[in-house]
Amino acid sequence: MTSRVRKAVIPAAGLGTRFLPATKAQPKEMLTIVDKPAIQYVVEEAVAAGIDDILIITGTAKKALEDHFDRNFELETLLERKGKTEPLAEVIAIAEMAKFHFTRQGQPLGLGHAVLMAEQHVGDEPFVVLLPDELMVSRGGTVKSMVDAFETYGASNVALREVPMDEVSSYGCAATEDVADGIVKIPHIVEKPAMEDAPSNRVVMGRYLFTPDIFEYLHKTTPGVGNEIQLTDAMAQIANGSGLYGVIDNSGSWDAGQKLDFLRAQVELGLQHPELGADFAELIKQTAANL
């Protein structure tokens, strides 16, 4: 197994039913946050952490994802002819951020099954999994910390954050043993426990770094609720086998799969925008004053 983490897998096969009718004819990952589709933020995060090879797991009616990360020579020719050098450079840069690969998850059999679709592409290399609904405030900082942890401990790890105990039932929850500053060992992990059964208030975020033995565990994982292969079940086996670590990251995130948090992302990322931020802040003040 090579020690360098250079590949990322982004499972993007979901139907996005929580955002209907907006997702009736377009992938939920292509919904725009300020001026970029949500999935581009996730890809940029991986690239910022040093990842240069990205496999996106797609599904039915997801061709727009492939088109977005491909060259569009008709558009580029038009922009060049009109002398629009800045947007021309921007659209070319999207396709050149990394090497992009796409494969379809033929059936909706769960996140574990989606990750298993990457087995042939990943081979014997460690790799990162980034869920496209989770946009990290740290941009590439979270994944970079996970890569650093892998280089130190040589084992799989996941990003964890601390939440109030009354929220743990919404997440995968990890029992933890402190190892170093911001690094914990995970002896076991539980999916959406009741508050009184939760082993800690440290919950799994949508960022994972796996050694290739995850595929062995996924092959052995029995389908659970909804006939889906649960990634958490395979992670529990890793914790009992080759070992699982956690990287604590409380810097924050936006859940672009939830309508209210999607709107929060629009506002907060809009305020951070280098060109629009100041005017947007003024617009918010005026709007609030008129309510």
Phi/psi-derived region of residue 150, left when phi > 0, alpha when psi is between -120 and 50, beta in every other case: alpha
CA distance 33 to 258: 13
CB 158 within 8 A of CB 140: no
250, 200 Cβ separation under 8 angstroms: no
What pLDDT shows up at residue 192? 86
Q: Give yes or no for residue 269 having a pLDDT over 70.
A: yes
Q: Is the model's pLDDT at 46 over the cut of 80?
A: yes
Pair of tokens at residue 283: 């617009």
Predicted pLDDT of residue 50: 94
Q: Choose between 30 and 108: higher pLDDT.
A: 30
Bridge partners, 178 (sequence order): 184
pTM of the model: 0.93
Domain annotation for the chain: domains and CATH numbers:
7-257 (3.90.550.10)
Question: Measured between alpha carbons, how far is 211 from 197 in angstroms, rounded to an integer?
Answer: 29
**9-18, 39-48, 87-96 — which is least confidently predicted?**
9-18
Please tell me the distance from the alpha carbon of residue 106 to that of residue 207, in angstroms, as a whole number.
23
Q: In the prediction, which pLDDT does 225 show?
A: 65
CA distance 139 to 285: 27
pLDDT at 287: 93
Is pLDDT larger for residue 223 or for residue 45? 45
Tens-place pLDDT, residues 149-159? 999 999 999 99
Question: How do strand 172-180 and strand 53-58 relate by DSSP bridges?
Answer: unpaired
pLDDT score for 15: 84
Residue in 133, 103, 100, 132 with CA at minimum distance from that of residue 118: 103
Query: Is the confidence at residue 72, as pLDDT, over 60?
Result: yes
Strand pairing class (156-162; 244-248): parallel
